[in-house]
Structure 1
Amino acid sequence: MKLLVAEDDLSVCEMLQMFFQKEQYETTFVHDGLSAKQRLEQEAWDFVILDWMLPGKDGISLCRDYRQNHDTPVILLTARDQEQDRILGLDLGADDYVTKPFSPMELIARMKAVLRRYKISPSAAEDSQDGSAEDSGGEDTESEFQTLKHKHVTIQLESRAVIIQGHTITNLTPKEFDLLCLFVRYPKKVFTREQLLESIWGYDYLGEERTVDVHIKRLRNKISVPDCSLIVTVWGVGYKLEE
């Protein structure tokens, strides 16, 4: 795995290097935001770790800019541990948030959990349900090459293409795509936050229910169409696809 770490604390870099070598990660370290920006723009990466308080350009800005064009997993490192900081990081595209001081083994565990979530397919998300979901009104086949349809939404699973009212949506992250697929498969079902965490993030996810709200907000912004909410809030319960 080709990994970029942007961290200005050299002692943290030295510590991480020892653990990443054991995991056989191909790791590149940079120590300021401008160097990180250059490497992010010039090379392809399998995973990116960004310190929030980098000199030159901070990690949160790097994450926001990088996420506009890349689906690569991103974890933020920071000494900021307030809830609003975590929400901001997730809202701008980070997949997870690790506060300092931290254990390198915890960071690696979180990285592996993020990678597993990126590999979850819509069919895997469906399989993790408890079987209580109602049948969708769209195409109903177990093949991963199917096309899902529901009113304004068409999803081609093989190419991961999303078409809404004739417009192709190209900037969904893997988790946003899987969330939308789950809603389209079960348009009559109201999903609680706990169910969405279990289906999309998995039982081993170390985050919190607020993560769901952040991703639903981002998904709504990307798939919004005139006179159609698509994903609606069922107050006190969770979320569902508009019928």
Structure 2
Amino acid sequence: MCAHIVLAEDDPKQAELVRRYLEREGHSVVVVSDGRAALDEVRRVPPDLLVLDVMLPVLDGLAVCRTLRQESGLPVLMLTARSTEDDLLLGLDLGADDYVTKPFSPRELMARVRTLLRRSSRPAVPTPGAALRVGPLTVDPLRHEVRRHGDPVECTPAEFRLLEVMAGHPDQVFSRGQLLEQLHGFDRFITTRAIDVHVMNLRKKIEAQPRKPAQLVTVYGIGYKLTAGGDAP
């Protein structure tokens, strides 16, 4: 698929290399060199994907991601020289959908871009009228929308996929390993700890009391399940 992509990278040689590969795949690309410019460009013309270097001047990539997640569910692919698990989990906690660690192969990066664009744009369930309702929560795979009590809930592609899977099987307990398999293609370095981060972020969005979840609940020693909870309309 051809997409509009914003590339935020302050290294001119790296930016030019990535831009050429993206354009070779048929995408339109706007290159910016600092975090503030990235925010301005994304707000000016919302892209299909933001490829975001972590180490940017003015505003770093983590600050950009934190700000964007308060505004939209735009897919974000981070480029980082940081490779420790804590660094990667911090990015996920802020809402990044995928990571590629420098130095990287341009072919590998293009594969990650294709996968993320495909995952974030396709309806997961092609059956008409297949909106999934669990208590006050509605997950609509066709419209790629989540609503709570009718109000829209902004989710990242990875968060949406987790809700979609669990809403399709309410009250079924999913292990972290099972949920991990559902996110193949979203996060290159995803671990079972990352599942916990996504669940924590979702609770902030769909629970009346995130620290006392009534819908997205923990089944200790096993994993998580989505229930109607005590907050049904």
Shift of 1:48: 0.6
CA distance in 2, matches of 1:16, 1:76: 13
Question: Secondary structure at 2:125's aligned position in 1?
Answer: helix
1:44-59 to 2 correspondence within 5 Å? 44-59=46-61
> In structure 1, what residue type is equivalent to 2:42?
L
Question: How many residue pairs end up in the alignment?
Answer: 223
Greater shift in the superposed pair: 167-176 or 19-28 = 167-176
Deviations along 1:157-215, one digit per CA (max 9) or x if unpaired, are: 55455443x3513322333233223222212311112222333x247963323332221
Structure 1 unaligned regions, length at least 5: 125-142
> In structure 1, what residue type is equivalent to 2:77?
I
Name which of 190, 208, 219 aligns with 1:225: 208
Name 1:145's counterpart in structure 2.
Answer: 129
Shift of 1:235: 2.2
Question: Secondary structure at 1:3's aligned position in 2?
Answer: strand
Name 1:43's counterpart in structure 2.
Answer: 45
Are residues 30 and 150 of structure 1, via their aligned partners in 2, closer, same or farther at CA, if it must alter by over 3 Å? closer
Q: Does 2:199 correspond to 1:216?
A: yes
Let me know the Cα RMSD of the aligned residues: 2.4
Name 2:168's counterpart in structure 1.
Answer: 185
CA distance in 2, matches of 1:82, 1:236: 26
Name 1:117's counterpart in structure 2.
Answer: 119
Name 1:236's counterpart in structure 2.
Answer: 221
Name 2:22's counterpart in structure 1.
Answer: 20
Structure 2 unaligned regions, length at least 5: 229-233
CA distance in 1, matches of 2:56, 2:110: 21
Paired residues of 2:62 and 2:94 also in contact (CA < 8 A)? yes
TM-score (norm 2): 0.84
1:1-16 to 2 correspondence within 5 Å? 1-16=3-18
Paired residues of 1:121 and 1:178 also in contact (CA < 8 A)? no
Deviations along 1:6-39, one digit per CA (max 9) or x if unpaired, are: 1111111122133223212211111122222221
Are residues 202 and 97 of structure 1, via their aligned partners in 2, closer, same or farther at CA, if it must alter by over 3 Å? closer
Name which of 188, 198, 204 aligns with 2:181: 198
Name 2:65's counterpart in structure 1.
Answer: 63
CA distance in 2, matches of 1:100, 1:67: 24
Paired residues of 1:60 and 1:92 also in contact (CA < 8 A)? yes
